[in-house]
Structure 1
Amino acid sequence: MDELLNPSEVKASKNPPRRRALSRRSGGVAFIVTFAIGAIGTVLFAAAAIAALGAVDRLPAPPVNGTWCIDEKLAWMRANPELLESGVIAVGSSVTWRNLSFGEIPLKEREAVGGVANLAPCFLRINQTHELTNFLLDLSPGTHTVISVVAPRDFEACSTNATEFFDPELLESYLSGQVSEWWVYFRNLRAFTFIGDVIRLPDLSDQLVFEEFGSGPMFRDEPLLVGPARMEAACFDHLRRMATDLTSRGVKLVLVLFPFMPAWVESADSTGEQRAEFLTNVRSSLSGTGAVLVDATGMTFPNEDFADPLHLQWPVVPEFTGYIWERAFQGQGPAWSGYQRGASASIGRPGR
């Protein structure tokens, strides 16, 4: 017969496991409390850092996309929501952002088309321009015309640059003011990119200037050169889809071909092969879509009028804008009488 255990021995044998369970439970609580304190401390430290950077004008725009010039343009759009409702908007890469001066168009002509705005950011390829254009048209059903200025580099790397380069729900909430800028900093903050932007912000400040309609004036003492573009057939497919999409919406696409810089022609395309390929593919892509093609490649500007092969110096942008406007809106309002070379709209860094 098994030997019976003394009750006191039974009690003693059960106590050690209970004490160990209590010890584990108290350790778990301590971990949770420590984690919570650490998390709250991190948030408070980050908030204090963001506030301090804002106080000394070293705070990059909220990282909706994570690319400095795109985010700065989105911050400008958030600060100027009324311009998103314009009848005529410009969308594209920096070839569009920096080469239009809507302030030079007479007020009565801007009013006749329902207002104008340059909503182009930077670094976009044509597939991304298509994506952003659709998003902006969904926000503003009253927009009837989209202007996009393109160069061969707009037709590079469509296969490797993500078409969906922003979160539509986040961007809509951000532009409408439904979410705070602080929340965007915490949601999308990429530490290394953010720190790099903080360090570079003073050097980038002259590139982050917006005039009243959203264009970005470019000034450069010595023009820069770039090599030939590596265009992809897929990019021209995106252009055709963009044109047909806009036509189905009842929106007119005005596609403008940017002039070729003489020094670039000499150094990168002396045979004319790339220019011919570009012009042929653009015309083929737009054929039968209802889009308006403004071929400004025949405009002649000397090298000193270019900041680089993709951007004109700001003092000559009014002439280029007038050329586009007259051809885009021929017979749709008062004829534009010209421009005053050297005049420019007021400029300033976007409000936050």
Structure 2
Amino acid sequence: MSGTPNAEASPRSVRPGYLLAFLGSLVGMFALYYGVLLTLSATGNLPPPAFTNSLCIDEKFDFLRRERLAEPNLLVVGSSVAWRHFDGRTLVRDAPGLVPLNGGLCGLSVNQTAYATAWLLDHYKNVQDVVMITAPQDFDGCTGKPTAFFDRADVDDYVFGDASPWFYYTRYFSLVSLTRNASQIAGRRSGADKVDPLVFDQFGSGPLGTDGGRGELLYGEMKQPDPACLTALSQLAARLHEEGRRLFVAVTPMHPQWRQRHDPDGRLLRRFAGSIRTALNGHGAQVWDSNQSLALNDWEFFDAIHLRWIGVPRFTEALVRAFDMTAAQATPGVQSSLVLNTELPLQASDRLVTD
């Protein structure tokens, strides 16, 4: 009948010209894309592959890939306060037996820090001491943030396996992210961006300069710790204890103006540190709340929770004393070029140990 489809009719064949045009367009698109990447690389504007779509984390992966640091026996972990608040030169001066690596990554909640710590420990087998530098903000939102915030197989291949980066620019392609990051990366790598530089020292720390700053506290009232964050911390401590490693948790100092405005009697910060001690109970970890013993000046702060680098050596020196790290045996060939004149007496409350 007229208008009735013929079930036995053969499908219309695809013309060779169409296939050639399609494949040619595809090849052309890839050629154009990689041409843009090569141009960005040649001009110093190529960001790292967007494994996490967080430029400061992805740049840290790129740093670890490039530098191939000496095998550490001490690992610093945490979010941006860990990344910004650790001076390895002060540590090796006061405890020459320690070889530190700052594995801090910006913007992490505690469950994500635990995930990143496990990944790093799988690659740095000689680590005996893990130092977590943390702020109250790190204990907010673990319930809603994915713990596995990067693909370990891909990052393993990129950081430790010498895989070519070009495939990952395609796998993790995002036009918006690439455009934004390419416009920022040169200034952040050079330190010209004073607010959010991506400059690393030889230990993997990311100093904030003495000039500039946010000009405001930025961070407001602290929230109660998310129970999921405390559980993640407890699980990390249990793993380290079982493996015979030591965990030290340092609560970073808060800006004096923030404390006056949001916690004038210190009750909130003491309760926060107490919740950490409770989570770590029975795992042999040590806790130091710097807010109870270390007095820093307003001008040493970048915002409510971040220190300018001028204050970091003093904080690191106090951390070394609080955890009695000077007892480490000296390792030949490990030296420090930094000499501090500041004498910082250790108070009895500096060292707080959980059972």
Query: Which band: TM-score by shorter chain?
Result: 0.7 to 0.9
- Match for 1:224 among 216, 229, 242? 216
| 3-state SS of paired residue (2:13) | helix
**Could you tell me which amino acid in structure 1 is paired with residue 134 of structure 2?**
V
| Match status 1:209 vs 2:193 | no
Q: Counterpart in 1 of 2:230?
A: 236
State which structure, 1 or 2, has the greater radius of gyration over its C-alpha atoms: 1
Distance 1:67 1:308 in 2: 21
Q: Quick one: distance in 2 between partners of 1:26 and 1:181?
A: 36
Deviation at 1:271, TM superposition (A): 5.0
| Contact kept in structure 2, 1:88 and 1:116, CA below 8 Å | yes
163, 168, 171: which one aligns with 1:184: 168
For the Cα contact (< 8 Å) 1:157–1:232, is it kept in 2? yes
Q: Which residue of 2 aligns with 1:287?
A: 281
1:325 corresponds in structure 2 to 320
Change (3 A) 1:204 1:331: closer
- Inter-CA distance 107–289: structure 2 relative to 1 (3 Å threshold): same
For 1:340 and 1:50, the matched residues in 2 are separated by 44
Gaps of 5+ in 2: 1-5, 192-196, 343-355
CA positional deviation for 1:33: 2.3
User: How far 1:274 moved relative to its partner?
Assistant: 2.5
- For 1:271 and 1:234, the matched residues in 2 are separated by 27
More displaced 10-residue stretch of structure 1: 190-199 or 223-232: 223-232
Contact kept in structure 2, 1:319 and 1:341, CA below 8 Å: no
Question: What is residue 100 of structure 1 aligned with on the other side?
Answer: 86
**Aligned equivalents of 1:109, 1:173: Cα separation in 2:** 33
Check whether the contact 1:77–1:119 (CA below 8 A) recurs between aligned residues.
Answer: no
Superimposed CA distance per residue, residues 13-32 of structure 1 (whole angstroms, 9 cap, x where no aligned partner): xxxx9xx969x3243x4333
The residue number in structure 2 matching 1:305 is: 300
Query: How high is the TM-score relative to the length of structure 1?
Result: 0.84
Q: Is the 1:88–1:117 Cα contact (8 Å) retained in structure 2?
A: yes
Could you say which residue in structure 1 is the equivalent of 2:124?
140
Change (3 A) 1:96 1:108: closer
In structure 1, stretches of 5+ residues that fail to align are 1-16, 343-352
Residues 95, 327 of structure 2: 8 Å contact kept:
no
Structure 1 runs of 4+ aligned residues shifted over 6 Å read none
Q: Does 1:260 align with 2:254?
A: yes
Counterparts of 1:330-345 in structure 2, within 5 Å, are 330-333=326-329, 339-340=339-340
Look up the match of 2:353. none
Counterpart secondary structure, 2:163 = coil
Q: For 2:131, what is the secondary structure of its paired residue?
A: strand
Question: Between the two proteins, what is the percent identity of the paired residues?
Answer: 27
Tell me the C-alpha RMSD between the 2 structures.
2.4
Moved more, 71-80 or 200-209: 200-209
Counterpart Cα distance in 2 of 1:151 and 1:96: 9
Aligned length: 318
Residue in 1 that maps onto 2:50: 63
TM-score normalised by the chain length of structure 2 = 0.83
1-side partners of 2:102 and 2:69: how far apart? 12
Residues 80, 162 of structure 1: alpha-carbon distance in 2 compared, 3 angstrom cutoff: same
